[in-house]
């Protein structure tokens, strides 16, 4: 017999708790239970949500759901096609909502941590290496966030011509570069350092400042400026 919200005690029903206490008061499992609407045989929607959260083997929090395929979700007992699709749609809505009015719009980059917080939000969960840049105005306020290139699991090309073309198109006075290490280790490689120095030289020639180069890892990131490489 399938169990739904009405099978739970009124004080434990996520719908009622959301109405009375607000969405921020709900646990991750309660929010998922609302998406699922009903459970499965012998399992309430809340229990099903808790089972889904057990798939987070690395302790990443809700972000792990972004990387699970529909088939992986369906492997969770009681989670069928419709619930898996509903969950993937909800994750994508959340991702898109961050881009309607970007939180970094006009944000001033005063130091490495300002740039790191923006890049980590976009790049920390990438499975392939990518190169991104923040284009800045004369006061180092963010004009645009651009993905420059995407490579394989181990590398991505940094093309000075494409990068500087984007900066010129945006009338940027400066930029911050970033790339991620899918291995999770934010330590820059000798190639990272050499490429950064060559890029800085090219940027200086056309009067655009390379403010920093950030290497994004898992749980921490590295500023090449702080390491004295710029």
Q: What is the pLDDT of residue 12?
A: 59
- Give 2's pLDDT tier (boundaries 50, 70, 90): very low
> What confidence tens digit (pLDDT) does each residue in 153-163 have?
445 567 788 88
Domain tally for the chain?
2
Shared domain check, 68 and 122: no
Q: Which of 48, 65, 100 is the last residue of a domain?
A: 100
Residue 217 tokens read as 């890892």
Beta carbons of 184 and 163 less than 8 angstroms apart:
no
Shared domain check, 214 and 118: yes
Q: Can you give the CATH number for the domain in which 196 is found?
A: 3.40.140.10
105 in any annotated domain: no
CA-to-CA distance for 95 and 65, rounded, in angstroms? 12
> What confidence tens digit (pLDDT) does each residue in 4-41 have?
445 544 445 788 888 888 887 888 889 998 999 888 87
228 in any annotated domain: no
230 in any annotated domain: no
* Degrees, nearest 5: CA angle 208-134-220: 120
Shared domain check, 165 and 69: no
Shared domain check, 117 and 96: no
229 in any annotated domain: no
Beta carbons of 50 and 36 less than 8 angstroms apart:
no
Q: Is residue 204 exposed (0-12), middle (13-18) or buried (19+ Cβ within 10 Å)?
A: exposed
**Which own/partner contact pairs does 164-169 have at CB distance under 8 Å and 24+ positions apart?**
164/202, 164/203, 164/206, 164/208, 166/133, 166/135, 167/133, 167/135, 167/203, 167/208, 168/206, 168/208
CA-to-CA distance for 162 and 190, rounded, in angstroms? 22
Of 37-51, 134-148, 198-212, least confident by mean pLDDT is 37-51
Shared domain check, 116 and 96: no
Q: Which of 69, 100, 131 is the last residue of a domain?
A: 100
Closest CA to 78 of 115, 43, 124, 50: 43
> What confidence tens digit (pLDDT) does each residue in 125-155 have?
888 899 999 999 999 999 989 888 887 544 5
Shared domain check, 125 and 86: no
Shared domain check, 160 and 61: no
Q: What is the pLDDT of residue 153?
A: 46
207 in any annotated domain: yes
> What confidence tens digit (pLDDT) does each residue in 54-71 have?
888 777 778 788 888 899
**Which residue is it, tokens 């309430």?**
44
Domain, as residue range, for 198: 112-223
Q: Can you give the CATH number for the domain in which 15 is found?
A: 1.10.150
Q: Which of 47, 72, 100 is the last residue of a domain?
A: 100
SS3 213: strand
SS3 172: coil
> What confidence tens digit (pLDDT) does each residue in 78-100 have?
889 999 999 999 988 887 776 65
Shared domain check, 92 and 39: yes
Q: What is the pLDDT of residue 155?
A: 53
Shared domain check, 121 and 96: no
Assess whether pLDDT exceeds 50 at residue 201. Answer: yes
Shared domain check, 82 and 143: no
């Amino acid at each position: 017999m399938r169990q739904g919200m009405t099978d739970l005690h009124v004080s434990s029903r996520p719908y009622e708790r959301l109405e009375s206490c607000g969405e921020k008061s709900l646990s991750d499992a309660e929010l998922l239970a609302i998406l699922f609407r009903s459970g499965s045989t012998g399992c309430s929607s809340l229990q099903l949500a808790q089972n889904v959260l057990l798939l987070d083997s690395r302790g990443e929090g809700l972000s792990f759901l972004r990387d699970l395929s529909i088939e992986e979700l369906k492997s969770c007992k009681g989670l069928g096609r419709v619930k898996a699709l509903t969950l993937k749609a909800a994750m994508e809505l959340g991702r898109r909502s961050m881009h309607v009015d970007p939180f970094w719009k006009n944000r001033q980059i005063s130091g490495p941590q300002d740039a790191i917080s923006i890049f980590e939000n976009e790049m920390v969960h990438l499975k392939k290496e990518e190169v991104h840049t923040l284009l800045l105005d004369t006061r180092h306020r963010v004009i645009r966030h651009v993905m420059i290139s995407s490579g394989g699991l181990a590398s991505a090309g940094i093309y000075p011509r494409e990068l500087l073309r984007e900066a010129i198109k945006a009338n940027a006075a400066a930029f911050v570069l970033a790339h991620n290490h899918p291995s999770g280790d934010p330590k820059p490689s000798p190639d990272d350092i050499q490429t950064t120095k060559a890029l800085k030289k090219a940027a200086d020639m056309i009067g655009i400042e390379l403010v920093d180069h950030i290497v994004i890892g898992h749980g921490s990131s590295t500023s090449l400026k702080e390491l004295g490489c710029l």
